Chains A and B, each alone.
Chain A
């Protein structure tokens, strides 16, 4: 891989969602649901000349111990609807929505993304995910029937099918010549037929080709299968490897997979999620970061996070006391429903052993331990320190940029945009203005044009 000097830093903003890193108890925290919050957040990202704004998805309220989880922010708006509205109050910012391939159909998702791309003048991106649990399926006609291997297979064929539909209009069919009365150049634009184990569909797609042709495609998978899926066709990866070492390993691994698909390293961007705390000085930032962690992990939250691994009711324990002596319950029925951690803590007994050792070695209470093992900001420091860190990670191929997740909604992005962005611009590693109009332009991806 040829190494460019002065790679450009790609920046994006994740509107923070429903997890304990979003601090709602701070007086500066506003609504996470009213449109004014999305407007303000998006306009801050656009002021900072960011590539795009990103929304996650969760289609069922999380539960723990059979009750809806009430300690974190709960609730979010519909992705397409809020992004279409954001398109009205921004001009350049890309609009990335996470949409699963299990509880939707290719025709409807293709028409939603084609619509969003039209309504935003070419700024749509699709983060393809596979909703994984029957728990979520209980909200849908389709139910929760898909085992893991079929879900990925469905995801692959779903994506391919949606792309077939999006490519079914070449882009030159609409003539609209008032004089001759010819509206369409051809009588059958959008015609498609697709039949496989998952979809047996045919007809005519009803949304003509959009400015980008297709939405930019994001992949969030981390497994070997997910990395291969991304290497074969995604435009960007939303990863969780924000540190230098892990980032470089992931970066090298994924970019190394591209050649076999006839792709170059520039065709797939690696964009880890990253949190930050910026203050006037490094010392102030460190202090503030510690304060934020305490806000993120209240005593109640610490106990509930521990329950996710212990799979037992621990509400009788003192969060400022030691870890439970009892071992986690191992079984199918996890205590936490609808949360990613259920997948991450596959071996709860091993986690318990490691955490006990860690707590004992450092003399940590439950809450202190949970602060140690959960929330950690990627970037902490003065604007100059944070700009240094980000630039260094990008120049050393730990990433191509970052998807920033502020801990305050919606104003948490402002400090970054107003203080760090100008420093990155001074260094010449971040644009001072948009040079293109589409998200593909911002990401440096070649335009697709019409299909042949």
Chain B
């Protein structure tokens, strides 16, 4: 992806149709392919993890149970027992994003969470779900939340638009956070990988070769950072969803 002596850091986010002519006609790109892979990996992994249903779990089953209990603890801890019905949604969301983030780190793969259209769709789904749930639970009283309690009525024309804008900014901040983190990580990886080739071609193999090892070392550290960021962003997305749903359920 290094064209001449330039680093094309954003070229990796381009979409290309897969599966030849069929993929071309239905616009099936590597992004969608990775989404399908992520959607298949999670249930298959859980199925094989829980196949034996042992009372004393083996390593694989214990890992599966820990994943389940981690998300369960987070969802119930934030939403309370009333939010139990949303646990499958949170679980799916968390592991879909997490798998997407981690799939993107594999060679020849693609991180579908690095496209804002994907993250914005997920965030809008959460946003509309929260609105529907709060309308169902609170009825028209939901709209009373846009007027802060205790503020004078005369301030309403100023306060209500600010509150509404603050509410509307939720899906945007949710989607931008995930998307920006993934893009930044992948651009950095590409940059440092590009430095190696630039050093090797620019300074010659004798001098640039040994120097080119340095960016590779940095890249190894960056991969570790990306593993952390991928899990963290999936966690943040899930916990913010829990908080929004908790607000929708409680008040």
State yes or no: do A and B come from one complex: no
Residues of chain B touching chain A, judged by Cβ–Cβ distance below 8 Å, are none
